[in-house]
Chain A
Amino acid sequence: MSNVDALRNQNLHLKEMYKRHRFKKKLFVIVLIPAVISLIGSAIAFGSADISFVDVYLTIFRKLIPGLNSLSMESPGHTHIIIWKLRLPRILMGLLAGIALGSTGAVMQVVLRNPLADPYMLGIASAAGFGASLAIVLGVGVFAGSYLIIGNAFLFSLISSALILALSGRKGASPESMILTGLALLFFFQAMTTMVQYFGDSEAVKAAVFWTVGDLGKSDWNKLGMTLPLVVIGEAILIWKSGELNIMNTGDASAKSLGINVQGTRILMMVVCSIMVAGVVSFTGTIGFIGLVAPHLVRMIIGADNRILVPASGLVGAVLLVLADTIARTIISPVILPVGAVTAFLGVPLFIYLIIKKKGGFA
């Protein structure tokens, strides 16, 4: 074999190797999707009232395909109600929140150039908590009726994000200035929340504190309908820009020299992440650790390629959150624990394990 042929063969080998390498990463996402779907099915079956897997899927199919109703046997009414009114909205909200928290966590870590970044780092959760406290304790809000609390929480998280962008934008929107203004606002809103709660009556304060602890129990179909477009559109934008995140990960000067509008992309990503997280926090309260742990977990398995990492972190976030919520619902059933506490119980040991075992995944 001539030298030229040998070189060409080696070249082909290199390309094949790269394509296989890329396919393996994609496979991870492809495997995750059915895993998530079957997890949802089993999560519905678990709970204080016993429902079999068959009933779960029968009930769902019957609802989706109206014609099926007349053909099959009668389903017991309370099963239908438990699945349709209680468990399914709750689990789907867990799915959406997990996707949003996992993906935004992955994006924030790259955009802020900080492996400790998570979706709440920029004070979004504490601003939402302040908005909610204002509504619960003082009854003050921009929206009336049942959306008083949620609307307030959403509005204040957006105000906090807008402030961060406006303030750090004057310093060229660098990761450092964003983190510092974010932390400053976080403490500011925490202090404001404390002030509001200090002067509130004890029942209202208790309700406000419970609101901030993440809980999926407040989910219903209306809220799902509002969260769904937010998460779907946001996720699409994050995935669309994820290739640029890879390049930004090599440093601002490098990325600019490769033709990336670094500042523009950074601001767009912050805005999209803020809106997604603000939406989720307003409906569920603060659910910690998902946004921190999911991206690190995925990086250890498939590496740092954001094109795969961003969607995969979302799916892993969803798995972790639905799992944590199932534990929260069943562990001392019929009492349902707030999932925000359970994710921390689940997340802290997992996170410490990752740090001890780390294989070059962090810095």
Chain B
Amino acid sequence: MGPDFQLFLQQLLNGLTIGMVYALIALGYTMVYGIIQLINFAHGEIFMVGAYLGLTAIGIAALLGAAVPWWAVIIFVFLFAAAGSALLGGLIEKTAYKPLRGSPKLTALITSIGVSFFLQNAVMLIYGAREQNVPEILPAKQWDVAGISISLIQLVIFGVSVSLMVFLTWFIKNTRMGKAMRALSENPEAARLVGIPVNRVIRTTFMMGSALASVAGVLFALNYGSVNFHDGYLAGLKAFTAAVFGGIGSIPGAMLGGILLGVFEGLGAGYLSSEWKDVFAFLILVIVLIFKPSGMLGENVPEKV
């Protein structure tokens, strides 16, 4: 195995890591779009709020001293961020989006941009405009496997993301709520007629999507060691790209799209130029939207008259 191939594997691994984070955020976009056809522009900010909530949780855990093992701290941080973001997501849905049911799509899109600005600046006012360092709560472990290095945080990202995706797939397929979500995305009118509590299903979808995004936010913060109130915009946009790439409305599509986008970015940054890596994501976005708006796994929906 030559050094070239090792570099390739290393970039692939790095790409997969960030791709997992994109996939987790993309799930929220795709679930919400699937049931109410809203591009929830504020979803990226939920990711960012999740990262800050994680920071707060780390601060709370630090008060308890060093007696707590690191994995217990991690679990507490995830639960705290997920619960906080889920509440926030539900609140946003109730106050900003619910009054707009049935109004034109663009009205809701503009509202979500407003929500996005509001959250970004609220976080800036609360936590300050400067980049915040995230304390290292994970032991700095690293393994060498066949010449490529894998860190503990990468393993945590893989473990957490994969288990959440498996859980979500199971949830959508088997639970009552999951079935209601699928019914709603299939046909909202019919779903209402058979007695599905539409508002509660929509609220739950927002809360689940927000919880996933906040877990992604914590993983992102732990991986990069810092958070900034600007982070949500770019990450959100890339995750949206991933959702569109995979086929918006499709849950496996969001996972695949996120992972592929991460891999493209990792390889692009490694072989072409890291300066231009954001352009790759946006080019993919524009090209997919123009030429294959249904994405890889999405259904082609003809325009209804």
- Specify whether A and B are partners: no
> What is the interface of chain A, defined by CB distance below 8 A to chain B?
none
List residues of B whose CB falls within 8 A of some A CB: none
